[in-house]
């Protein structure tokens, strides 16, 4: 009987210890925090970096060396929602849109994070991920075009192939812009749309400030309703105001100057 009691005691102790260890490894966010719990395959022995994306600047916040279990956790003190970048190597990353009180589970392959990352626990991140998943498929098509282009570089059919590939690329680019436009129209009060409107596809902007000013104005009018006093939203508002100001200046200059005259701010000799 004593042996049975001892067995039960040790069983309970093991269970409790396992639960405590699990809680320690996978913490939950407090109301003023964002917690990112991650598990990346092929990450043992690698460094994982956490950075904050603030406009066009990236600020390193934290880093961790991954052990054999390939799990990690970042805890962030946060006053408002923001953009966070998790990476294991240069130009290969996942973008998280975290808000205070959120515990986000991040998974992926550390050797090809941009094309494999997935996240749960954040509605904004999930929204952006749906857009990003479509982008992944389109980028694979562009990669295939690039491979064909390089392979045909020294062949007699090079120019014919190039024209055909350019046509296919332009078609993919049109699809990408259409997807992005539809996303912004559908989610004008989302921080995910702020990422989308600043997104490039194969280094080409999906939105141009003056040409697509109506989309910038749309986000500028809707985002403050969802994210009051958010720095990202405030900075975007000032950016839109500057775009509008510059557009008015250009229009005024074009109205005043006679046809063919140069703007006084421009001199071909400078």
Interval 171-187: pLDDT, tens:
888 999 999 999 999 99
Which of these ranges, 229-233, 255-259, 266-270, has the smallest mean pLDDT? Answer: 266-270
> Would you state the pLDDT for residue 72?
96
Nearest alpha carbon to residue 191 among 241, 242, 229, 230: 230
3-state secondary structure of 98: strand
pLDDT (0 to 100) of residue 20: 46
Lookup result for tokens 């961790």: 64
Q: Which residue do the tokens 């389109």 mark? A: 138
Strand pairing report for 92-98 and 204-205: unpaired
Helices (H), the chain: 2-25, 123-151, 158-186, 191-197, 213-226, 231-256
Q: Give burial (CB, 10 Å; 0-12/13-18/19+) of 104.
A: buried
pLDDT in tens, 26-82: 799 999 999 999 999 999 999 999 999 987 789 999 999 999 999 999 999 998 999
The pair phi, psi for residue 44, each rounded to 5°, is -55, 125
pLDDT category of residue 165 using cuts at 50, 70 and 90? confident
Dihedral angle sign, alpha carbons of residues 223, 224, 227, 229: positive
pLDDT of residue 138: 75
| Better-scored residue on pLDDT, 259 or 65 | 65
Q: Which residues pair with 57 in a beta bridge?
A: 54
The contacts of residue 121 (CB under 8 Å, 6+ apart) are 102, 103, 104, 105
Q: Mean pLDDT of all residues in the chain?
A: 85
The 10 Å Cβ neighbour count of residue 136 is 13
pLDDT at residue 251, rounded to an integer:
84
Supply φ then ψ for residue 227, to 5 degrees: -130, 75
- The tally of CA atoms less than 13 A away on the side-chain side of residue 180 is 24
For 123-133, what is the mean pLDDT? 95
pLDDT per position as a tens digit, 199-214: 998 888 999 999 999 9
Q: Which pLDDT band holds residue 18 (cuts at 50, 70, 90)? A: very low
pTM: 0.79
Domains for the chain: give ranges and CATH numbers. 27-121 (2.60.40), 128-256 (no CATH)
Which pLDDT score, from 0 to 100, does residue 146 have? 74
Asked if pLDDT for residue 102 goes beyond 70, the answer is yes
């Amino acid at each position: 009987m004593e042996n049975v009691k001892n067995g039960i005691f040790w069983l309970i102790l093991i269970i409790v210890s396992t639960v405590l260890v699990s809680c320690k490894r996978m913490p939950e966010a407090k109301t003023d925090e964002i917690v990112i719990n991650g598990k990346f395959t092929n990450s043992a022995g690698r460094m994982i970096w956490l950075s904050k994306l603030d406009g066009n600047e990236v600020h390193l916040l934290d880093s961790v060396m991954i052990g054999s279990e390939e799990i990690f956790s970042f805890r962030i003190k946060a006053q408002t929602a923001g953009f966070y970048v998790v990476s294991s190597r240069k130009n290969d990353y996942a973008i998280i849109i975290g808000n205070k009180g959120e515990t986000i589970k991040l998974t992926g392959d550390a050797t090809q994070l941009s094309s494999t990352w997935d996240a749960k626990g954040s509605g904004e991140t999930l929204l952006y991920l749906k857009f990003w998943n479509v982008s992944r498929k389109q980028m694979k098509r562009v990669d295939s075009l690039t491979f064909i282009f390089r392979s045909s570089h020294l062949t007699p059919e090079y120019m014919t192939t190039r024209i055909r590939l350019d046509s296919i690329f332009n078609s993919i680019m049109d699809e990408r812009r259409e997807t992005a436009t539809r996303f912004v129209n559908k989610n004008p009060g989302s921080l995910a749309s702020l990422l989308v409107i600043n997104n490039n596809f194969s280094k080409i902007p999906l939105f141009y400030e003056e040409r697509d000013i109506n989309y910038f104005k749309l986000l500028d009018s809707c985002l403050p309703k969802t994210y009051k006093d958010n720095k990202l939203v405030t900075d975007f508002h000032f950016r839109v105001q500057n775009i509008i100001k510059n557009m008015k200046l250009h229009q005024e200059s074009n109205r005043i100057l006679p046809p063919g005259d140069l703007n006084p701010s421009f001199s071909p000799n400078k």
